[in-house]
Each structure stands twice: as structure tokens, then as C-alpha cells.
Homo-oligomer: A and B are copies of this chain.
Amino acid sequence: MGSQIVGKQSIAFQSAVYIAGSASVVGPKEAAGPLGEWFDIKEEDPLFGKETWEQAESEMQNLALQKAAEKAKLEISELRFLFGGDLLAQLTATSFGNVEAKLPLFGLYGACSTCAESLTLAAMSVAGGFAEHAAAVTSSHFGSAEKEFRFPLGYGSQRPLAATWTVTGSGAFVLGNRNGYVRVSGVTPGKIVDMGVRDNMNMGACMAPAACDTICQNLLDFEREPQEYDRIITGDLGTVGKEILLQLIKDRGFDIEEEHMDCGIEIYNPETQDTHAGGSGCGCAAVTLSALILPKLRKGTWKRVLFVPTGALLSKVSFNEGQTIPGIAHAVVLEHV
């Protein structure tokens, strides 16, 4: 087995790791958006039949994991480990959403980059020979996220145009060492990048520098040109963050304008859905990966995609104490089998 350590911060998996099943669960706003027809489970009630936003988010994770296992033709008990996370303090959605799964759980937090963090670690557990199958699940909920990071919904606060709309959704992925339809061939875990941005209504600007750092590092580590990826897909930069990213990448000597897509821009219709700069949240990248990106890779429409969810590392406390909002982005290389 050759070295799997590539360049400064990447891994190229020598043992094959496949995505063997995935599922997306969304609320009504996402179901009404441009990707609506491709989501697996669409629920009209944003509370998912529960009493609180947090319980609703837990229920989404529960449903997503069940559906992903079903699509991978596995019982949940056949999954060795679960890598899960969400945006809430102390991972409330994950802790309460996965009690019934009875799986060894690694709780993860990387803000909206958590989907890639969970895929990376699940892939490492499979490629390292520590699991035949492992699952990754992440979620976000508009109601719980606004309460967690900004203002109670009841205030009816106005949102500036740079703001994004937290996606109500959960995506789950079953990874395995055989029988999958998309290969996870490599990863570039990202560093914290702090450019001093302090605007919690402009997450795109907070995260774009981290996305730039991770994407450039991936290209350098794997010695690839941007066009060797059919798409380079960020998680939730939105329209404001996208513009910043493209410029920052140009400053670093690369041009990804042709290849770049952003899940946050794909998921809502800005003309009719009043979401301003786009969608965001752990769930945004996760459900878009499951519903839009993986099917295109499976079909062969795209041969190789760099999937780069981005996170803004703020808390109510750090924000109120006047701290900056650093960003982080993790990249996962996905290939047609």
C-alpha cells in the first residue's frame, strides 16, 4: 500500500471507499425550491410532528439515517460507526436524534462544513479497515438555527441582503468498502482561517477565505488544475460569498469560475423564495449532495467533483463578546465509479 499522505494536508485513499446509499429529508420551503423533486422525504410540517424546533431537527436526522440505510440495503445495526453533527449548542439535534440508532457515535462540529467533516472521518474509518460500513449524518433547521445564532423568529427581524437562509434539512450517507456507486477518492481537511470578518449577517464573507484556502490546497496537494474537476462545489457561500471566493482564488493564481457551483445558490429560487444571498446550514450541503450531486456522479454526467462545505465558526457568546468569525472548509473528492 503506497502512502496515502498527499502534499501538505490531503489524503488519497488507497483502499476504495464508496458511498453505498444516501438520503435527504427537507422541510416545505426546500421542497418548493428548484431541487424539490429530488429530495427523498419532504415534510409539510416544519415541526415534523414534534413540539420544538430541536426535536424536529432530531427527527430529520433519524429519518435521513433510516432512509440512507434502506437505500444501501443495510440494517442500521450493520453500520459500525455514526459520524454526526449539527449547528446547535452541544449538538442537541444529533444527541437526541440518534439514540434509537444505538450506534457508536462520534459527535462533530465544524459549523456548516460538518457534512464534509463527517464524510471525511467516515471514509477514513472505512479506508483504514476499522469499519465495513459507517454512516455520516448532518442537519440544520431554520427555526432552531435562528434561535441559536440570531433572533427568535417571533421578533420578525429584518434580514439584510447578504444574509442566507438556514436550510431545514438533513442528509445521511452510508459509506462502505464495496458495492457503492460513487467513490470517495480523497480528502483535504481544512484549517481555521480568520480574516477578521465580524458580520453575522454575512456568512459568505466569513467563509469564502477558508473555502479559498482549502480549494487551493487541494489543487496543490493533488497537483490538479481546476478543470480536472467537473465541478468544484462549495456548501453555502451564497451569492455574496461566491463572488468573494472567485476573486480570492484568482488572487492565488487559479480560476475556478467555470467549475464553481454553490449548494446555497442551487437550493432556493431567489426570485420567488425571499432567501436573499442563498441557503446555508449543515443541511444545505448535505441534502444538495444527496439529491443533486451524487445522482450526477452516479450517472457519469460528472466524473469527478470537489465537494467543499464551508463553516463559519461563531457562537452567540463569541459574537456578543466582539470576536471575529473565522471560517473553515473541508474538501472531499468524489468520483464516478
**Is A39 positioned at the interface, with any CB of B under 8 Å from its CB?**
no
Give the residues from 155 to 183 in chain A that come closer than 8 angstroms, CB to CB, to chain B: none
- Is B90 a contact partner of A315 (Cβ separation < 8 A)? yes
Say yes or no for A125: interface residue by CB 8 A criterion: yes
> Which residues of A, 86-101, contact B by the 8 Å Cβ criterion?
87-92, 95-96, 98-99
Shortest CB-to-CB span from A123 to chain B, Å, is 10
Interface membership of A190, Cβ < 8 A = yes
Closest to A149 in B: B90
Residue in B11, B188, B315 whose CB lies within 8 Å of A88: B315
Query: Judging by beta carbons under 8 Å apart, are A317 and B5 in contact?
Result: no
The answer to the question of A47 belonging to the interface, with a C-beta cut-off of 8 Å to chain B, is: no
A249-273 near B? 1/0 per residue, CB < 8 Å = 0000000000000000000000000
Complex interface: stretch among A21-29, A128-136, A235-243, A288-296: A128-136
Give which listed residue, B81, B89, B128, B330, contacts A130 with CB less than 8 A.
B128
CA of A317 to CA of B144, assembled, Å: 10
Bound-complex Cα distance A315 to B94 (A): 12
Cross-chain contact A108 with B108 (CB below 8 angstroms): yes
CA distance A130 to B54 in the complex (A): 35
Interface string of A1-45 (1 = CB under 8 A from B): 101110001010010000000000000000000000000000000
Nearest B residue to A194 via CB reads: B99
Contact A54 B110 (CB under 8 A): no
A232 to B238 Cα, complex, angstroms: 50
A104 contacts across to B, CB distance below 8 A: 9, 188-191, 330
A129 and B1 in contact (CB under 8 A), knowing A80-B9, A326-B96? yes
Q: A166: shortest Cβ distance to chain B, in Å? A: 14
> Cβ of A307: which chain B residues have Cβ within 8 Å of it?
none
Q: How many chain A residues touch the partner (CB < 8 A)?
A: 64
- The reply on A192 being an interface residue by CB < 8 A is yes
Copies of this chain, whole number: 2
* The residue from B51, B109, B128 contacting A124, defined by CB atoms under 8 A apart: B128
Is there an interface contact between B89 and A317, defined as CB atoms closer than 8 Å?
yes
Contact with B along A313-334 (1 / 0, CB 8 A): 1111110010100101010000
Q: How far is the CB of A81 from chain B (nearest CB, A)?
A: 6
Q: Which residues of B contact A109 (CB under 8 A)?
A: 85, 90-91, 107-109
Q: How many Å lie between the Cα of A92 and that of B111 in the bound state?
A: 11
Q: Are B102 and A191 in contact (CB under 8 A)?
A: yes
Closest to A125 in B: B124
For this complex, 25 residue pairs linking A to B, each with C-beta atoms less than 8 Å apart, are A9-B104, A51-B321, A54-B317, A54-B318, A90-B313, A90-B315, A91-B313, A92-B315, A92-B317, A96-B313, A98-B192, A102-B191, A104-B190, A104-B330, A105-B110, A105-B189, A105-B191, A106-B110, A106-B189, A107-B108, A107-B109, A107-B117, A107-B328, A121-B121, A127-B130
Interchain residue pairs A-B with the least CB separation, the first 7: A128-B128, A89-B89, A104-B189, A90-B315, A95-B313, A107-B109, A89-B315
